[in-house]
Structure 1
Amino acid sequence: MAEAPLDVDGRINLDSPRYDQSTFVGRARHFFITTNPLNLFASGSDLDNAKAVVESYKKRAEPPGLTADEVWRAKSLYDSAFHPDTGEKMMLIGRMSAQVPMNMSITGCMMTWYRTTPAVLFWQWINQTFNAVVNYTNRSGDSPIPLKTLGISYTLATSGAVITALGVNKLVTKAPPIVGRFVPFTAVAAANCINIPCMRNSEMVNGIPVYNAEGERVGESTAAAKKAIGLVVFSRICMATPGMLIPPFIMQYLENKTTILKRFPWANAPIQVGLVGFMLVFATPLCCALFPQKSSMALNSLEADLQEKLKALPNTPDVVYFNKGL
């Protein structure tokens, strides 16, 4: 796997990930590092030191004797904890390195206790609260999300998930038991389709920053924002699919064909959490890698006014780039 090319002076280019992001394998390798839950154990001073190394290296003022591996280690820690656009340190549970432990715990419990209304209300609320934190933390661009928008998207997503779960639960009361196990996935998919667009509504109204091939900001695009949000919704649903569609078959088998859950009923939740966690270890980075983080759009796909603005530039870009968010 080829690593990021060196610059003209033979130095590491820290403006690009270590591995080739034009290939799925390169993006997957990058996200296996970025989503590594072990990054959560890095202390605040470790993260600040990593940021200092990255920033000093970019300014060609790094400490003498710094090796390439040390630079890349600092960069991986930096990427796992700091927002790519704003440079701000992200809240702990909103970081991509927290996705596996947080999602496996919440999803496993959501799939264990899905039959009663109180359980559905509680776990869908917990899940959407976590999703709201993640969506806010990993928003694209550098424009803040108003508290009003945050509250509306959170309320709509939580309501959508609960209504979907309760409605589908009612519809499948006479269906085979295995069907009921898929209700949480239906609710999660529906909520993602509500939560992410609502949370990032300001991006669709005001646009997100777009850049030329040299990394220069050339404007804001609402068309790019809509594409970014669509890609994120799709990848989030894909991310949840293995952990929410495969364990129900395993749990149904354990419940009907073995005595494990009858002898140890307390093991239901730990087994589901473990199964979901195992699948998320792979699904999280692989689904984050479905589309390039630095996505692109052709000039003729942008809104008309931005096209005119770019065509007036001395060097009109044929393609613009943007951070799609996670």
Structure 2
Amino acid sequence: MINSMRWRYIALCEAKILRNPITLRAGIVKPGLTEDELWRAKYIYDSAFHPDTGEKMFVIGRMSAQVPMNMSITGCMLTFYRTTPAVVFWQWVNQSFNAVVNYTNRSGDAPITVNQLGAAYVSATTGAVVTALGLKSLATRLPPIISRFVPFAAVAAANCINIPFMRQRELKYGIPVTDENGNRLGESPNAARQAIVQVVVSRIGMAMPAMAIPPVIMNALEKRAFMKRFPILNAPVQVGLVGLCLVFATPLCCALFPQKSSMSVSGLEEDLQERIRKTSPHITTVYFNKGL
């Protein structure tokens, strides 16, 4: 009973902080909160609000939604890969979801217009679907087991298209770079390029176990009499295997590169280097939010 009341109290405190995030930033919290309870509230706040803009993030775009969303979409991509309409539909669904995630977890605080967002979405999803169809046509001449890996190859290639397109404003105008204390020093397209490369590598690594291991297992299972007798189990088993892989792959690949990434001042644009050396000659390393 006491534990139940305690957790209800913590949940209430967290809800109040999330409804009014300024209180957490300003250090204004309800009296009586312990350090552990405050840290728990901070973790929830960090997972729900963008680190640069401070805006509350769209629910399915948050990293906490990656496993349930991706296991459903990826499981269906791996199950329904044989026909062109199925490939087009599930690649479109996957890249639409990725576009939401890429926008939600972008770096920087520069506003993006609806037209820019729409153009980026159409370019990203079209490029991804065309890539998937091209790889599918090539796979028709390969052994069946190889065909099962077409969705992964398509997703890997599509990530190289989708993420830069959805974050193209960062590549053009740069992302904020700061000193170790968080003081803003300027905007850097070079930092944006490094951030986007790191995110692309993380996303491909995240997809690899979930899209490479289940096809091998399913290829063996489908030869068993049980699966032949109940083919309806194909999709649920595949989704379950993908989910199991993602539970481990998602946090591991998010941790490949730190959220607050860094680079040498010498790697920045010349004009920004000069500005930093004039105002803060002691700084040799700058930091930036790479996005997720």
**Shared topology, TM-score over 0.5?**
yes
Aligned match of 1:92 in 51, 59, 82? 59
Residues 53 and 74 in structure 1, CA contact (< 8 A), matched pair in contact too:
no
Residue of structure 2 equivalent to 1:104: 71
Work out the percentage of aligned pairs sharing the same amino acid: 63
Aligned match of 2:80 in 103, 110, 113? 113
Aligned match of 2:277 in 273, 290, 311? 311
- Counterparts in 2 of 1:109 and 1:46: CA distance versus 1, 3 Å: farther
Residue of structure 2 equivalent to 1:198: 165
Structure 1 stretch 287-296 or stretch 55-64: which is displaced more? 55-64
CA distance in 1 between counterparts of 2:172 and 2:92 reads 27
- Structure 2 residue identity aligned to 1:265: P
- Counterparts in 2 of 1:315 and 1:179: CA distance versus 1, 3 Å: same
The answer on 1:285 being equivalent to 2:251 is yes
Q: Which runs of 4+ in 1 moved over 6 A?
A: none
Residues 182 and 244 in structure 1, CA contact (< 8 A), matched pair in contact too:
yes
CA distance in 2 between counterparts of 1:265 and 1:137 reads 37
- CA deviations 1:23-44 (Å, max 9, x no partner) are xxxxxxxxxxxxxxxxxxxx9x
Aligned match of 1:271 in 237, 254, 269? 237
Aligned match of 2:141 in 163, 174, 193? 174
Structure 2 residue ranges without an equivalent (≥5): 1-10
- Counterparts in 2 of 1:103 and 1:73: CA distance versus 1, 3 Å: same
Residues 61 and 100 in structure 2, CA contact (< 8 A), matched pair in contact too:
yes
Residue of structure 1 equivalent to 2:8: none
- Structure 1 residue identity aligned to 2:69: M
Residues 160 and 187 in structure 1, CA contact (< 8 A), matched pair in contact too:
no
Query: SS at 1:246's partner residue?
Result: helix
The answer on 1:64 being equivalent to 2:36 is no
Residues 148 and 215 in structure 2, CA contact (< 8 A), matched pair in contact too:
yes
The answer on 1:161 being equivalent to 2:161 is no
Shift of 1:60: 4.0
Residues 53 and 62 in structure 1, CA contact (< 8 A), matched pair in contact too:
no
Residues 54 and 75 in structure 1, CA contact (< 8 A), matched pair in contact too:
no
RMSD of the TM alignment (CA)? 1.9
CA distance in 1 between counterparts of 2:288 and 2:278 reads 20
CA distance in 1 between counterparts of 2:225 and 2:254 reads 38
TM-score by length of 1: 0.82
- CA deviations 1:236-270 (Å, max 9, x no partner) are 110000000000100000012x1222111111111
CA distance in 1 between counterparts of 2:205 and 2:73 reads 17
Shift of 1:171: 1.7
- CA deviations 1:170-203 (Å, max 9, x no partner) are 2222322111100101111111101111111111
The answer on 1:296 being equivalent to 2:262 is yes
- Give the helix-richer structure, 1 or 2: 2
Shift of 1:80: 1.4
The answer on 1:151 being equivalent to 2:118 is yes
1:16-95, aligned counterparts within 5 Å? Answer: 48-51=15-18, 55-56=22-23, 58-95=25-62
- CA deviations 1:116-165 (Å, max 9, x no partner) are 01101110110111011111111101112232332233222222222222
Query: SS at 2:261's partner residue?
Result: strand
Query: SS at 1:296's partner residue?
Result: strand
The answer on 1:259 being equivalent to 2:225 is yes
CA distance in 2 between counterparts of 1:184 and 1:82 reads 32
Aligned match of 1:243 in 193, 204, 210? 210
- Structure 2 residue identity aligned to 1:302: L
Residue of structure 2 equivalent to 1:30: none
Shift of 1:166: 1.9
The answer on 1:223 being equivalent to 2:190 is yes
Structure 1 residue ranges without an equivalent (≥5): 1-42
CA distance in 2 between counterparts of 1:306 and 1:141 reads 17
TM-score by length of 2: 0.92
The answer on 1:140 being equivalent to 2:144 is no
